[in-house]
Chain A
Amino acid sequence: MSDYTAALANMPAGDASNRRRSMTLNMGPQHPSTHGVLRVLLELDGETILKAVADIGYLHTGIEKQCEARTWSQVVPLTDRVDYLANLSNNLAYCLAAEKLLQMEIPARAQWMRVMLTELTRISSHIVWLGTHALDIGAMSMFMYCFREREQILKLFELFSGQRMMTSYFRIGGLALEPPRGWQKQIKKFLEDMPVALDQYENLLTGNPIWNIRTKGVGYMSLEDLMDWGATGPMIRAAGLAWDIRKDAPYSSYEKFQFNVPTATESDVFARYAVRIAEMRESVKIMKQALDGMPEGPWVADVPRVTLPEREKMKTQMEALIYHFKIVTEGFEVPAGEVFVSVEAPRGELGYYAVSDGTTKPYRIHMRTPSFGNLMTLQPMLEGRLIADSIAALGSMDFVLGDTDR
């Protein structure tokens, strides 16, 4: 957090007149458009930003340290809290990492269910982004429309896991609970409503002259710069590269689904908006395929050492009770080794680096979170631009501070 002192020290030296002209402005940490607690130090010359320094760490909760003190299965609820708008993507990345170390086979039904629900997470995350981003720029009604659909999604999460936000629905080996009776009907209803809602959003924004003026040509960065500064996900795709981990290195049976990777070439705020809207439509397509082709069978792998036994078995079989007791009290041993598993989260590449030393607790978990990389582009993106555009540019990065600070 010494950026402030560093920024002061790095103020343009030279003659006194130069020094008087520039002004340091403190944006945040409680600024409504910083989506959390981000502090940006802006050095201004009139309306022009000379230098922008991001000061992060206000939401640092030491999750990586806490992971080392818990058993492998106890880490799952912590991963929800990393990116609280894309909880299931985090669950998925962590579970895939642990399962790779354990070399487990996951039943098809669990894999498909995971795909369906992470796509639902993507829609939910993009909707929150769209609502708040539009709110920042001044289109207030968008927020209400977006949160109408978000409420529907949160109800679906509650239906599946019993929790609206911190779902922890994916566990090492499969799912936490059997999918509830009648879930198909609810998902079907949502898939009918969502395309209509997306059309409504586009009616409100895409052709809107104010929206176009505020977003087109704003926050431009070239593809090379974005890549160098660590941006991933929709930001890269809006700059013209169709890079999507779901296509390039498919995980959790994504290779069985038909979908496109939407791209744009302008690499400005509007292009990022267009890409995310198109991504939501693709997510609806994937969910439809998952709903139609959902395989039957178990929703959790049959590895008694790792996965919790069924409730009924625990009441009648002694072995099941013993396994349950051992998993809950001391956990299970994970073979020594290390893996880096990355998934395409709503914001970009989400990678979990898990190191095991052969005990029941992770030796080290590092989260390569997309927001951390995306936020690094703040400095090159804002420099030399107008202060009024900084809000639009910040919003288009789609960062979550919990994800950045961990």
Chain B
Amino acid sequence: MTEQVKEMRVTKALEAALPGAITGGKYELNELTLGIDAARIHAVCEFLRRKDRFIRLAAITAVDWYPMEPRFEVVYHLHSMPRPGITQDERLRLKCKVGGDRPEVESVWSVWPCADWYEREIFDLFGIGFRNHPNLSRILMPEDWQGHPLRKDYPVHGYKYSYKSE
């Protein structure tokens, strides 16, 4: 974590409220990214939503860094838009690393209801589980699909020549 990141308002507020939750951070191309301890992501999101100003979750996604271990990064895009009382448009990216045979992270569904589909999409395409998610099932791929297509060890054209039913 650079000095510049340490001096930012969000970093200070988060460090004061939840010491040790931030594992790293960078400020590049005018975008702030904070690494978060995967075990505490729910508490961090809860704080940023209720006590700080990030009322909106723009998206959740994941990146697969196969064959690195831990291989997955779950990425949260938070947003605070100008509204009565707040003049600045602020965005924040949270990242937590998960890996192992059964990668899993706490669901933030109870913080932002719209995390519901984003987390299902990650579960479907990356195979990352979300604890306490109300309905963790495939959303884009067919129910009986084998594998998780957006993993880097999944071939672009799939495992079969044709997926038509014979």
Residues of A within 8 A of B (CB): 1-3, 5-6, 56-57, 60, 62, 64-66, 68-69, 100-101, 103, 227-230, 241, 243, 248-249, 337-340, 342, 349, 351, 353, 355, 363-364, 366, 368, 372-373, 376, 405-406
Q: Is the interface of A mostly helix, strand, loop or mixed?
A: mixed
How distant is the Cα of A65 from the Cα of B157 in the complex, in angstroms?
10
Residues of B within 8 A of A (CB): 28-29, 31, 33, 55-59, 61, 63-64, 75, 77, 81-83, 89, 91, 93, 112-114, 116-117, 125, 135, 137-143, 149-150, 154, 156
- Judging by beta carbons under 8 Å apart, are A376 and B29 in contact? no
- Judging by beta carbons under 8 Å apart, are B91 and A340 in contact? yes
B81, B112, B135: the one within 8 Å of A248 (CB) = B81
- Judging by beta carbons under 8 Å apart, are B89 and A227 in contact? no
Given contacts A248-B89, A249-B89, A353-B75, contact A228 B81 (CB under 8 A): no
A-B CB proximity, top 6 nearest: A230-B114, A368-B59, A366-B61, A2-B137, A57-B140, A248-B89
How distant is the Cα of A376 from the Cα of B83 in the complex, in angstroms?
23
B56, B125, B137: the one within 8 Å of A3 (CB) = B137
A6-B135, A68-B156, A243-B81 are known; give 7 further A-B pairs, CB within 8 A.
Answer: A1-B138, A56-B139, A56-B140, A228-B113, A230-B112, A248-B81, A353-B61
Q: Which residue of A lies closest to B56 (CB)?
A: A227
List 10 A–B pairs whose Cβ atoms lie within 8 Å, in order of A's numbering.
Answer: A2-B143, A57-B141, A65-B149, A101-B29, A228-B112, A230-B113, A241-B83, A243-B81, A340-B58, A353-B59
Write out the residue numbers on chain B whose beta carbons fall within 8 Å of the beta carbon of A65: 149-150, 154, 156
CB distance from A164 to the nearest CB of B (A): 28
Q: Which residue of B lies closest to A55 (CB)?
A: B139
How distant is the Cα of A327 from the Cα of B106 in the complex, in angstroms?
43
- Judging by beta carbons under 8 Å apart, are B29 and A342 in contact? no
CB distance from A377 to the nearest CB of B (A): 9
- Judging by beta carbons under 8 Å apart, are B117 and A376 in contact? yes
Write out the residue numbers on chain A whose beta carbons fall within 8 Å of the beta carbon of B112: 228, 230
- Judging by beta carbons under 8 Å apart, are B143 and A340 in contact? no
- Judging by beta carbons under 8 Å apart, are A2 and B138 in contact? yes
- Judging by beta carbons under 8 Å apart, are A1 and B142 in contact? yes
Write out the residue numbers on chain A whose beta carbons fall within 8 Å of the beta carbon of B75: 353, 366
How distant is the Cα of A101 from the Cα of B137 in the complex, in angstroms?
34
How distant is the Cα of A406 from the Cα of B143 in the complex, in angstroms?
17
- Judging by beta carbons under 8 Å apart, are B156 and A339 in contact? no
A230, A249, A353, A372: the one within 8 Å of B57 (CB) = A230
How distant is the Cα of A230 from the Cα of B33 in the complex, in angstroms?
21
Q: Which residue of B lies closest to A59 (CB)?
A: B140
- Judging by beta carbons under 8 Å apart, are B81 and A340 in contact? no
Given contacts A57-B140, A243-B82, A366-B59, contact A340 B31 (CB under 8 A): yes
How distant is the Cα of A6 from the Cα of B137 in the complex, in angstroms?
9
- Judging by beta carbons under 8 Å apart, are A100 and B29 in contact? yes
CB distance from B144 to the nearest CB of A (A): 9
B77, B141, B149: the one within 8 Å of A368 (CB) = B77
Write out the residue numbers on chain A whose beta carbons fall within 8 Å of the beta carbon of B135: 3, 6
How distant is the Cα of A228 from the Cα of B117 in the complex, in angstroms?
12
Q: Which residue of A lies closest to B61 (CB)?
A: A366
- Judging by beta carbons under 8 Å apart, are A355 and B59 in contact? no
Write out the residue numbers on chain B whose beta carbons fall within 8 Å of the beta carbon of A229: 113-114
Write out the residue numbers on chain B whose beta carbons fall within 8 Å of the beta carbon of A406: 140
Q: Which residue of B lies closest to A61 (CB)?
A: B140
How distant is the Cα of A355 from the Cα of B29 in the complex, in angstroms?
13
Given contacts A1-B138, A338-B33, contact A355 B63 (CB under 8 A): yes
- Judging by beta carbons under 8 Å apart, are A337 and B28 in contact? yes
Write out the residue numbers on chain B whose beta carbons fall within 8 Å of the beta carbon of A227: 55-56
How distant is the Cα of A220 from the Cα of B57 in the complex, in angstroms?
22
- Judging by beta carbons under 8 Å apart, are B77 and A351 in contact? yes
How distant is the Cα of A227 from the Cα of B55 in the complex, in angstroms?
8
